[in-house]
Amino acid sequence: MELVKIYNGTRNEKVRNGKSVTIFLISFIYPANTGYLKRAALLLFWANQFFEKINIIIPVTDFNIAAEILEPHLQICDQLSLIISRPVKSRLDSAFNFARRLLTGRFVAFYSGLFLDRLVIKSFKKAIKQNEATYFLNTRHNYAGLVKYIPDSMIPVIDTQDIYTDIFRKYSVTATNPLLKKILTGYREKGDFIQSEIEILKTYKKIIAISEIDYRKYKSIPGLTSQLYKIESADIVSPPQASALSNTHNFDLLMVGSNFSGTQKGFEWLVKEVAPHLQNKLSLAVAGSLGQYIQKQNLASPQLAITVLGVVESVDVFYAQSRVVIIPIPEGTGTSIKGLEAMCQGAAIVSTTAGVRFESGHTGTIFLKTDDPVVFARYIQELLADNKKRETLGKNAYQFAAVNFSRAAAVKQLNRVFAEDDTAAPDTETN
């Protein structure tokens, strides 16, 4: 069985510093508008300016990738390696995955390396021999265990993206079953993290946290501080559609979300807990795959006229057509891409604490935040009734995003992480 397929890249940049990087991506699985790919695009843009040679490794279930999908990747690297991973098809695979979720919470066991797809490991080990470089940059936290299989000569760096433990461990049997929790304590559990996750992260020389919340959580773990850096920039700032300023609105509210457990629970909370406190019926547009869940569960409210837009090519036009953007999700990690996108569009935002996670100090000036359903409803009504407040909030949000989440800011921070002596000073408590 062929495990690795290698393509020569067509990158034109000429950086003469003798440094090289092998970047692990999962690029063909997700839609191009996801937060992960936005972050990956930023890292690749920066790498193109910083490294003399760039290798990319991407896991796929087969090598039948269309040329139009391959080509953009070839243009940003010197070498692209596709490695084979195992698709979940058999009943045995399904049973195994169910058991893993039951005992540890979804995806959590990936950190230990014990439950990484053995085919992924085999193909990765073969590919890394042909992709040896100065650095190994892993962009997927749930594949952190791959660090065990890189050469000792490579400097391992991880861009953590999301802390899956925080999201999924609460759905695990170990979180509610005292007997299992007691048995697994010390190996699986340690505060907000599982022990296997911590041990894997300790093997990386540099750890990049992508939000203040994630950074603080990692900072609390002994043994991680010396290699910890924070880079919140997401590189999605673009000219705003001025959604808060528009005079032609088709919707009162807009919610953007994928069909993910946290977003599902957030929408249920909106319908069941928030909507009953709205003073009058409002129109709500929902963009993204979350619409599948709404339709399947037949979620509705007398106070909301819901329009399911589904997955759209660009959500920008709907920001412009909506008065207020709502982000009612109960949990999340990493930089809130949904929040950033809304800010970059000049939107007036009402969010839960988990919805806009990157800047709590500006609550009330660039967005409104609350976890109280009654207050959430009141904030919505206030913004809909006060055009000036809505416009001011939208303008402030855009200005904040333009300063703090620009490509230039991200490149500057990344250059510091990958300093010339490979020992850049990590962030301090005041950073």
230 and 291 together in one domain? no
CA angle 81, 148, 73 (to 5 degrees): 20
- Token reading at 33: 């508008």
Distance (Å, whole) CA 368 – CA 379: 7
182 and 157 together in one domain? yes
Question: Based on the structure, what is the number of domains in the chain?
Answer: 2
Whether residue 324 is predicted with pLDDT greater than 90 in this model: the reply is: yes
Please provide the distance, in angstroms rounded to a whole number, between the alpha carbons at the two ends of the chain: 49
- Token reading at 317: 């036009």
When mean pLDDT is compared across 27-41, 61-75, 271-285, the lowest value belongs to 27-41
Whether residue 38 is predicted with pLDDT greater than 50 in this model: the reply is: yes
162 and 73 together in one domain? yes
390 and 411 together in one domain? no
Report if residue 240 sits inside a domain: no
Report if residue 131 sits inside a domain: yes
Distance (Å, whole) CA 372 – CA 16: 55
Question: Quick one: which of 45, 58, 115 has its CA closest to 85?
Answer: 58
Mean pLDDT of the chain: 79
57 and 120 together in one domain? yes
- Token reading at 251: 């919707």
- Which residues make Cβ contacts (< 8 Å) with residue 147, sequence separation at least 6? 136, 138, 156, 158, 200, 203, 204
Residue 88 has a pLDDT of 54
Residue 45 has a pLDDT of 87
Report if residue 431 sits inside a domain: no
376 and 364 together in one domain? yes
- How large is the C-alpha radius of gyration of the chain? 22
Residue 168 has a pLDDT of 45
184 and 320 together in one domain? no
Whether residue 298 is predicted with pLDDT greater than 90 in this model: the reply is: yes
Report if residue 244 sits inside a domain: no
Distance (Å, whole) CA 374 – CA 351: 13
Residue 206 exposure: Cα atoms within 13 Å on the Cβ side: 27
Share of the chain above pLDDT 70, in %: 72
β-partners of residue 8 are: 79
Residue 86 has a pLDDT of 72
- Token reading at 351: 């969010």
pTM metric for this prediction: 0.74
* 339 band by pLDDT with thresholds 50, 70 and 90: confident
> Could you write out the DSSP letters of every residue in 314-328?
--HHHHHTEEEEEE-
* 5 band by pLDDT with thresholds 50, 70 and 90: very high
Specify burial of residue 249 (Cβ count, 10 A radius: 0-12, 13-18, 19+). middle
Report if residue 242 sits inside a domain: no
Residue 431 has a pLDDT of 39
Question: Quick one: which of 306, 314, 315 has its CA closest to 347?
Answer: 315
More confident residue, 262 or 281: 281
Residue 238 has a pLDDT of 55
* 430 band by pLDDT with thresholds 50, 70 and 90: very low
Structural domain range at position 27? 4-235+407-417
412 and 377 together in one domain? no
Residue 420 has a pLDDT of 56
pLDDT, tens only, 219-263 = 887 777 668 887 765 555 555 545 555 556 789 999 998 887 778
For position 147, which CATH number holds?
3.40.50.2000
Residue 287 has a pLDDT of 92
40 and 170 together in one domain? yes
208 and 135 together in one domain? yes
Share of the chain above pLDDT 90, in %: 35
Q: Which amino acid is at 419?
A: A
Report if residue 423 sits inside a domain: no
Whether residue 189 is predicted with pLDDT greater than 80 in this model: the reply is: no
Query: Would you say 118 and 59 are in contact if contact means Cβ atoms under 8 Å apart?
Result: no
| Four-point Cα dihedral 298, 301, 306, 308, nearest 10 | -20
- Token reading at 316: 């920008």
When mean pLDDT is compared across 94-98, 173-177, 391-395, the lowest value belongs to 173-177
Query: Would you say 421 and 17 are in contact if contact means Cβ atoms under 8 Å apart?
Result: no
* 155 band by pLDDT with thresholds 50, 70 and 90: very high
Query: Would you say 160 and 139 are in contact if contact means Cβ atoms under 8 Å apart?
Result: no
- Token reading at 20: 């090289």
Distance (Å, whole) CA 327 – CA 347: 12
- Token reading at 337: 């891409």
Residue 99 has a pLDDT of 60
Report if residue 67 sits inside a domain: yes
Report if residue 430 sits inside a domain: no
Residue 111 has a pLDDT of 38
Give me the count of residues in the chain: 431
H or E stretch covering 284 = strand 282-287
Distance (Å, whole) CA 190 – CA 400: 36
* 323 band by pLDDT with thresholds 50, 70 and 90: very high
127 and 261 together in one domain? no
How many helices and strands, by DSSP H and E, does the chain display?
Answer: 15, 14
* 167 band by pLDDT with thresholds 50, 70 and 90: very low
- Which residues make Cβ contacts (< 8 Å) with residue 422, sequence separation at least 6? 155
205 and 265 together in one domain? no
Whether residue 112 is predicted with pLDDT greater than 50 in this model: the reply is: no
